Structure 1
Amino acid sequence: MDYTTLKSLKPSEFEDAAGGYRTLGDMASQAKDDIEQQVTAGMRKSLEGKAVDEAVRKLRKLATNFHYTQVECALITTALNSLAYELRAAKNKLDAAVEDAAAAQFTVDSDGSVSYPSAGDKVDGKVPEGGTVTGSARESTGNPIDPAGDANDTAKALERQASNLHDNPNYVRALAIANRLAQAVHQATRADEKWAPELRKLKADDDLVVAAEDWADAKRDMGGVRSSAKEYLDAIKAPLKDSNPEENATWWKGLSKNEQDACLALDPAGLGKRDGIPAAVRDEANRTVLAETRAEIKLKLDEFDKQHPEPTKYEQKWDNIGQVPLQGEKQLTPAWQAWNRERSRFSDPLKGMDAIQRRFDRTGEDGLPEAYLLGFSAEGRGRAIVANGNPDDADHIAVYTPGTGASLSNSNGDINRGVNLWKTSHGLTDQEVSTVTWIGYDAPPEVFPDATRDKYADNAAGTYGQFIDGLNAANKSGSDAHITAIAHSYGTTVIGAAANEGDLGVDDIVFAGSPGARVDNAEDLDVGKGHVWNEHAKGDDLVNGFGRFGHGGGVSGIDPTDPVFGANQMATDTEGHSGYWDYDDDRNKPSLSIKNQGRVIVGDYDKVQMKPRDDGSLLPVDWREPPNWGV
């Protein structure tokens, strides 16, 4: 780029182009939402069968195309805005130098050189003549070519020497202006050379099918744009590393639309996990991370299958005593088991991602609202935080925390429990309800010895508290929204650990199949008197027997079914350790176990059915007048 080009450059034209791509991206986003929330949802409401399932599958592909378009347009928008930002900085420097030249009655020539008039004390009877100087740009210290800045120092020294020898004082001023002009042109040239190849990369193939390779390419594009846009991003005020949800909410509201778009386009993983950010924004960010992560793992799985064909799965089982084959009995071969363990590193996370997608696809089914992905990660055992309905708009919010064995790969059942909670509680009130499945911690992988240890709950406590604080910070009613913490098995221990760290930020707590909640009394759980509820189903032997641990056994605290604990004991009609969320879909009828939870969720305490005493009378409900939850 030369002086004349930069002088006539209009950075606003790049911003206008960015605005065009933003409009296109918004249109793609709206089309995606219309397909998912209206078209497929409408079909799910009124139709059923294989034909509907196939239509939804095809519509999902179309929605994926629009989602990919939205993501790529956001990257192009941010890239163009970044380019405009850098060019404007260079242009402003150039314009300021030109103004200073005009004020000094210097002339800036078309090649960027500066002509100055005669001036100074006479030498040999003559005023020193004017002349023309050409400036030079200097690299900032730390440039790979000149890391110590030695060349800059040498250039400055030569200029000072020349200035001292020159009789015309205009020479020094003209040279300074010429250097500023050269520096501005150099800065604009560097921006152009950096962004031209990056922008050329931001294009998709022309086969009209968004495959895993396309999402993987989108992730690479994001990395490239983020690296190139460092100067632009540095100008955006970033939140503190350890900022709390209230600070996150304030930070987000203080950003311009362009700045919000840049954060969403270039750091979806960071934004998606930041508590206090609006649910719709976190959902959009996490869906991008989900799509790109799924593509990345799918490609790895395909490569694994290509390089490692499945070995023989079964072999004849032998009687170890008589050394004779057992008729009709087979066992897995060691080779297949080893192959499957290695392959599961890729296939297991994909199961969880498929479960999340199935929930997306169910929107509209039996009136089910849109799902919001409030947290996602495939690292370690994975994270999946899925809300039914927007918690920011809800009057009543329930957060369900599962226990031992919970992970991304096993998330299908826990996501469905959140769905059943929504269907149950939604049918009990005219107000807005949102239910959240919170797999936001590393749960114990196995009952023994893992579930006997405190460390999983201790590690989860702070994260859980931050999430609840984020719900309060983002909700339209703030802390007036009614939040119920619902937990199963070891999840109840997480709630107790979180309560021990401070204000839990919820109004009611429901335990189901609890092995102990780390406290000796319900009043130690940071909710009002009588707002701790407990369910213990018939045949829940995991809790009755080896699953419950007392003081010093790892999971501590008084048994929540013990009257000394002080919880309201709710009636159940399900059996076993995992039936508390049973829902008869064919008859659209919740079990009593989950219906009682729903009544707590909506604050309809008087209708909660209590567990009978040995003499057949009901245990009393002990709760104070509930607060007015902003309604």
Structure 2
Amino acid sequence: MSGHPAQVGNPAAGSAGVGAAPSTAAPPTAGAGIGYRQLWAADPGDWRAAGRAWGALTGLAQRRRSSLDRQAGTLRTAWAGGAASAADHRLGGLGRELTALAPAMIEAEQTLAEFARRVQTARARLDAAVASAQVSGVRVDRDGRVSAGPAPAPGPVVAGVARALRDALDLAGTADREAAARLAALSEAAHTGWVDPPPPDRPWPGASPAAVRAWWSGLTAAERRWLVTYEPERVGGLDGIPAAARDQANRLRLDAVRDELLAERARLLLRVPRGPVEAVGLLRVEASLAGLTALTGRLDAPEAPRAYLLGIDPAGEGRAVVALGNPDRSTRVLTHVPGMTAGLDDATDELGRAGRVLGRCAELAPGEETSAVLWLDYDAPDFLHEAAGDGRARDAGGALHRFQEGLRATHEGPPARQTVLGHSYGSLVVGAAARDHGLAADALVFVGSPGVGVAHASELGVPPGQVWASTAPDDVIRLTRPPDDLARQAVLGGSPVGTLAGLLTGRDDERWFGHDPADPGFGGRTFPSGRHGHTGYWEPANPALDGMARVVLGR
């Protein structure tokens, strides 16, 4: 386990394809010994595949534990005496070891997946440096030595190419050292013990993410694994605990979440007579089960970037918080807050939207480490009369505030640029959180917004010029005008007629929940959107996709 990942394999000895003239200039190298040809030949897919193999052992360990428990139970009913007690004690110990093994296997998979991602980023920087050399006439030989070409390039240009190559190799070397250290620690734990019970104190209810982070940092690795193993629900839902640990805990909870939904379905099926309430409940549970299956498929998928499960809750319509790429190790982090009807049943669809922004970021800046998070940790309204009030947005504000503070608290290295994006009713959630609690965000983005609960961008508490919005010309949200008093009363009474009457009244620059954030008078900045309707902002042909990505990147 403890070998250097980047030193395994047979690196190609071919040229980078940018000249091959000898030079006396030493090739750029990283401190860990990652060379130019090694990085050029590295295949991140091999490391992702190795990680998936380790991750697959998690399920095997859990199945073996279940089998062992059944066999031990059978023995207890048919065997008694001193030998039986000794055997039962030994079987219990083996079961505990298998239980403790599961998060360690997920940790190994995470380590290799993150190493692969950073190697891919380093490769992108290397490719960019080589491309720059080709354009500027700088030679790069097979060993990464940089020199002026036949038409000599200015010294600063040659030095710039050399610095870019060194930056790529430094990133690869750092990733190599960190991955080797993490795998070595896991190897050591196999001999000294995977888990160790932590002190009894736990973060108090409502503890700040910074306090949670301080508590977690004070534990040993074995104590953290104990908490992941035996208190996964606590660890998986605490803002201030690093993404890797939350992912381990929540992945271990997936079977329990599925069992909870299956039990609810069984209860509904047994009710006689079965009325409309039970029928609606069954539809909801079936949708949540299908959504959970789809989400599990994405968590297990070989595609990059790796998904991190930061939260899961089957109650109600279901909730999920999922990151694409580790936000604790990324220089730019997007938090995507979906709108009306969002639930566990369509979590993968919403995650796909966040993923398309992330994909566009990778196209614009392939050498940057960026993460996108689906934050579906609130009770989104399902019907128009529910969406006519701001109660659910206000209720969600505190949770979104804590989540963003948690991202700040657990981030490694210099602070990341954090962007929070709200779509439709989700934009009101973001606005209410920023207004009432404050958001750890460097930029806010609103698309298809019915208003964000404030009259001016300056009330949202982010740096000037970092509030952005876009509304498609054919987005039906443009019909959401502020209602008159009579229409509002009808809406609050649950009348669809009153709702529609209210939607069609009001000024052009006003929305149901305040000043249109895409109106110049709001004080924010805008980017264009094509005619793709209310849910088409993430279509590849829509310029809004490019706009969102550029805001995330800080461009």
State the TM-score, normalized to the length of structure 2.
Answer: 0.60
Query: Is residue 2:417 matched to residue 1:453?
Result: no
Please tell me whether the aligned partners of residues 529 and 543 of structure 2 are also in contact (alpha carbons under 8 angstroms). yes
1:63 and 1:347 map into 2 onto residues whose CA distance is: 31
Deviation at 1:577, TM superposition (A): 0.7
1:159-207 superposed Cα distances (whole Å, 9 cap, x missing partner): xxxxxxxxxxxxxxxxxxxxxxxxxxxxxxxx99997896587699xxx
Paired residue for 2:377? 440
Gaps of 5+ in 2: 2-43, 67-84, 99-195, 493-511
Paired residue for 1:253? 217
Q: Which has the higher contact order (CA 8 A, sep 6+)?
A: 2
Paired residue for 1:576? 533
Please tell me whether the aligned partners of residues 268 and 281 of structure 2 are also in contact (alpha carbons under 8 angstroms). no
Of residues 415, 427, 441, the one that matches 1:506 is 441
1:63 and 1:291 map into 2 onto residues whose CA distance is: 19
1:341 and 1:476 map into 2 onto residues whose CA distance is: 45
Paired residue for 2:548? 597
Structure 1 counterpart of 2:470, which letter? E
Q: Identify if the C-alpha distance between structure 1 residues 574 and 433 changes in structure 2 by more than 3 Å, giving closer, same or farther.
A: farther
Query: Is residue 2:483 matched to residue 1:544?
Result: no
Deviation at 1:395, TM superposition (A): 0.5
Structure 2 counterpart of 1:472, which letter? R
Paired residue for 1:526? 461
Paired residue for 1:262? 226
1:440 and 1:580 map into 2 onto residues whose CA distance is: 22
Please tell me whether the aligned partners of residues 335 and 374 of structure 2 are also in contact (alpha carbons under 8 angstroms). yes
Of residues 27, 35, 58, the one that matches 1:67 is 58
Structure 2 counterpart of 1:564, which letter? G
Q: Identify if the C-alpha distance between structure 1 residues 440 and 63 changes in structure 2 by more than 3 Å, giving closer, same or farther.
A: same
Deviation at 1:337, TM superposition (A): 7.3
Query: Is residue 2:522 matched to residue 1:565?
Result: yes
Any residues of structure 2 matched to 1:40-439 within 5 Å, and which? 66-70=57-61, 199=93, 235-298=199-262, 301=265, 340-364=279-303, 368-429=304-365, 430-439=367-376
1:299 and 1:67 map into 2 onto residues whose CA distance is: 24
Please tell me whether the aligned partners of residues 40 and 363 of structure 1 are also in contact (alpha carbons under 8 angstroms). no
Paired residue for 2:497? none
2:64 and 2:206 map into 1 onto residues whose CA distance is: 31
Please tell me whether the aligned partners of residues 261 and 314 of structure 2 are also in contact (alpha carbons under 8 angstroms). no
Please tell me whether the aligned partners of residues 418 and 552 of structure 2 are also in contact (alpha carbons under 8 angstroms). yes
2:296 and 2:418 map into 1 onto residues whose CA distance is: 26
Q: Identify if the C-alpha distance between structure 1 residues 64 and 507 changes in structure 2 by more than 3 Å, giving closer, same or farther.
A: closer
Structure whose alpha-carbon radius of gyration is higher = 1
Q: Identify if the C-alpha distance between structure 1 residues 193 and 358 changes in structure 2 by more than 3 Å, giving closer, same or farther.
A: closer
SS at match of 1:577: coil
Deviation at 1:468, TM superposition (A): 0.3
1:298 and 1:599 map into 2 onto residues whose CA distance is: 43
SS at match of 1:421: helix
1:72 and 1:278 map into 2 onto residues whose CA distance is: 27
Deviation at 1:339, TM superposition (A): 7.1
Q: Identify if the C-alpha distance between structure 1 residues 346 and 603 changes in structure 2 by more than 3 Å, giving closer, same or farther.
A: same
Larger proportion of helix: 2
SS at match of 2:520: coil
Gaps of 5+ in 1: 1-22, 24-36, 44-58, 76-190, 205-231, 310-333, 584-589, 605-631
Q: Identify if the C-alpha distance between structure 1 residues 346 and 601 changes in structure 2 by more than 3 Å, giving closer, same or farther.
A: same
Paired residue for 2:502? none
Deviation at 1:257, TM superposition (A): 2.3
Deviation at 1:407, TM superposition (A): 1.0
Deviation at 1:253, TM superposition (A): 1.1
Q: Identify if the C-alpha distance between structure 1 residues 557 and 74 changes in structure 2 by more than 3 Å, giving closer, same or farther.
A: farther
Q: Identify if the C-alpha distance between structure 1 residues 600 and 406 changes in structure 2 by more than 3 Å, giving closer, same or farther.
A: same
2:516 and 2:337 map into 1 onto residues whose CA distance is: 19
SS at match of 2:521: coil
**How many aligned residue pairs are there?**
374
Deviation at 1:453, TM superposition (A): 1.0
2:450 and 2:429 map into 1 onto residues whose CA distance is: 11
CA RMSD of aligned residues (A): 3.7
SS at match of 1:449: helix
Of residues 475, 478, 482, the one that matches 2:411 is 475
1:580-614 superposed Cα distances (whole Å, 9 cap, x missing partner): 1113xxxxxx531111100111011xxxxxxxxxx
Paired residue for 1:158? none
Please tell me whether the aligned partners of residues 550 and 558 of structure 1 are also in contact (alpha carbons under 8 angstroms). no
Deviation at 1:431, TM superposition (A): 1.1
Deviation at 1:416, TM superposition (A): 1.0
Please tell me whether the aligned partners of residues 574 and 582 of structure 1 are also in contact (alpha carbons under 8 angstroms). no
Q: Identify if the C-alpha distance between structure 1 residues 345 and 40 changes in structure 2 by more than 3 Å, giving closer, same or farther.
A: farther
State the TM-score, normalized to the length of structure 1.
Answer: 0.54
SS at match of 1:264: helix
